[in-house]
Structure 1
Amino acid sequence: MNAVLYLAVVVIWGTTWIAIAAQQSVFSPAVGVFWRFTIAALGLFVVLLLSKRLKKLSLQDHYFCMLQGLCVFGLNFICFYTAVEYINSGLESVIFSMAVLFNAINSYLFFKKKISKSFIPAAICGLIGICALFWHDIVSTQLHWQTLSAIGLCMLGTYGFSLGNMISLRHQNHHKDIFTTNAYGMLYGALFMGIVALLLKQNFIPDLSTKGVLAVLYLAIFGSIIGFSLYFMLIARIGAGQAAYSTLLFPLVALFISTFWENYHWHISSVLGVLFILLGNWILFAQPKYFLKHSAKISSS
């Protein structure tokens, strides 16, 4: 079951980049995300009400749902969509892969969950792999104050995503229904993005196209309702650190699709990146004895 959830999250979120690109050609970032999570929240509420699965939440639970909406369904998108104007998406993917480390550290800080012995070598392989995968993007980036600001925004967005993961763990530790908390979190996130769009005086209903509408619907239904629900279920089952390792595989799916969709050309470094990321997955989930012993020596030294 864990493998199915993991694969589903990777495939769904690995394909959302197509819809995000299509959406950005029609909507501004804040408006696009507003409609994405408004539709997702309303759709989820309808399903929960019809199935009588919508649960009551306390005032404190609503407070944490607001924080989750701000972190996962609002702040991180503002950060990444703003940063992409100054750095390429490859470098953003490299920075977002830090969610693997942030989740492991935050799980220990907030819930005292020990980091597994296989996690350290797996994370090292994964981070090396993601850097190799986007090596050409990294070396082509020119450092100046705008670039550094964009990198800082990406780090902030990634850490916000990680905090949202911790809030999801809090919900599940308190036996809160994941679909109910997701529905309210998405609703609060959409409200936040709507306020941002209003302050920026952006158009909520631009000249719509079939492509733009389909993109938002795909992001709302598959990328948000299904994707986030499966991801938060995965966190509950295998832990936040291991679940976040799936973020290293999103770019692989995107690049494989781009090979046929946009005629992406692979480099030696890209192939090496794929191998390192797959090796990291093998270490993390197969947990070979050599790496367990090696990591145990590192932690004890």
Structure 2
Amino acid sequence: MSVSLAYGLAIAIWSTTPLAIVFSNDSISPLMSAFLRMTLAAMLGSVLLRLLALELRWHWRALKAYLASVVGIFGAMAATYQAAQWIPSGLISVLFGLTTIVTGLLGHFLLENSRLTLKQWGAVFMGVAGLAIVFTDQILVSGFGIKGILFSLLAVFLFSISNVLMKIYGGHLHPLQQTVGALWVSLPFYVLACLVTGTGLVISEITLTSVAGVTYLAVFGSLVGFVAYFYLISHLPPAYVSLITLITPVLALMLGNQLNNEPVTIKMLSGAAVILLSMLFFMGDHFRVAVERRKSKESTAVTDVHALSDKAQ
């Protein structure tokens, strides 16, 4: 797989995931839809593990890593699926972009060597300002809209906690082992949640839209997207990979509007613009370091070429 192909896949999948969640909820309750997605992804992932001659690890250290991921796979995803009932899919993508900032904020207090700079603190307050603009949109906050925004923010918080926990307990497993193991461990939580809430599944009422949404999310959202993401992480500086989070919300807003007639208001766009700008400021130092390293490598390469040329003469 080339880097450009992986980058394109990641952008395409992350841009379409929120809308696919909306479609998967077409005739299936949010919790059941998420449960079916994770179940299918876990089964397909297990097949992929076997093909790659990898085995799931079930020792205590691995279980802690799986549970760290479950905070995101169950907690954040369940909240996101609930939010998709009430707010535009594009707005979910925009709000989810705050994960970068919230993860950094939590890391500041919970992790060593993860202190925020003054510029990053400014980005945090800018993100809050963008969120405040979104909350002034009467179309979004009327009815169940406010509920959807709160569920989406809960998802951001839980996913950010999962990221921080993964930095503490993860990193020793193959990425595919980590994902598939976490998917299997998340399933009992989904089953329990469905039982507690009385969530069921009426086979005769399931539409093709829901089937397509669940299948797409299981195959692409949970597996192909994951493979592309970790491929990029291993071949590009993190700052370049982070650019995806600035591109996908814009595309998600456009797709939701064009394919699902979701409203896009001036206040929503203004709030989204401020949030995306805050993310850019927050990651600005990482971009600068990445560019400087690339220039340094190019300069070193040119120097080496000249040195070899001089020796040849």
Give the TM-score range, shorter chain.
0.7 to 0.9
Shift of 1:150: 5.9
Partner of 1:38: 39
Residue pair 1:83, 1:153 contacting (<8 A) in 2 also: yes
- Aligned partner (choices 151, 161, 164) of residue 163 of structure 1: 161
Amino acid at match of 2:54: R
1:197-276 residue pairs with structure 2 within 5 A?
197-207=194-204, 208-231=206-229, 246-247=244-245, 249-262=247-260
Partner of 1:176: 173
Shift of 1:152: 4.9
Amino acid at match of 1:202: T
Amino acid at match of 1:176: L
Shift of 1:115: 3.7
Partner of 1:48: 49
Shift of 1:219: 0.4
Q: Which has the larger radius of gyration?
A: 2
Amino acid at match of 1:39: L
1:1-301 residue pairs with structure 2 within 5 A?
8-69=9-70, 71-83=71-83, 92=92, 95-108=95-108, 109-115=110-116, 119=120, 137=137, 140-142=140-142, 152-173=150-171, 175-207=172-204, 208-231=206-229, 246-247=244-245, 249-262=247-260, 284=283, 287=287
Amino acid at match of 1:188: V
Shift of 1:225: 1.5
Residue pair 1:41, 1:183 contacting (<8 A) in 2 also: yes
Q: Secondary structure at the match of 2:173?
A: coil
Q: How does the TM-score come out when normalised to structure 1?
A: 0.72
**Inter-partner Cα distance in structure 2 for 1:4 and 1:273:** 31
Residue pair 2:39, 2:183 contacting (<8 A) in 1 also: yes
Moved more, 49-58 or 119-128: 119-128
Q: How does the TM-score come out when normalised to structure 2?
A: 0.70
Amino acid at match of 2:62: D
What is the percentage of aligned positions where both structures have the same residue? 23
Residue pair 2:91, 2:249 contacting (<8 A) in 1 also: no
Residue pair 2:22, 2:84 contacting (<8 A) in 1 also: no
Change (3 A) 1:243 1:271: same
Change (3 A) 1:171 1:269: same
Residue pair 2:94, 2:249 contacting (<8 A) in 1 also: no
Change (3 A) 1:179 1:72: same
**Inter-partner Cα distance in structure 2 for 1:11 and 1:130:** 25
Residue pair 1:80, 1:153 contacting (<8 A) in 2 also: yes
Change (3 A) 1:224 1:205: farther
**Inter-partner Cα distance in structure 2 for 1:232 and 1:138:** 39
Shift of 1:226: 2.6
Gaps of 5+ in 2: 290-313
Shift of 1:222: 0.8
Gaps of 5+ in 1: 290-301
Residue pair 1:107, 1:166 contacting (<8 A) in 2 also: yes
**Inter-partner Cα distance in structure 2 for 1:278 and 1:11:** 18
**Inter-partner Cα distance in structure 1 for 2:162 and 2:230:** 10
**Inter-partner Cα distance in structure 2 for 1:119 and 1:172:** 25
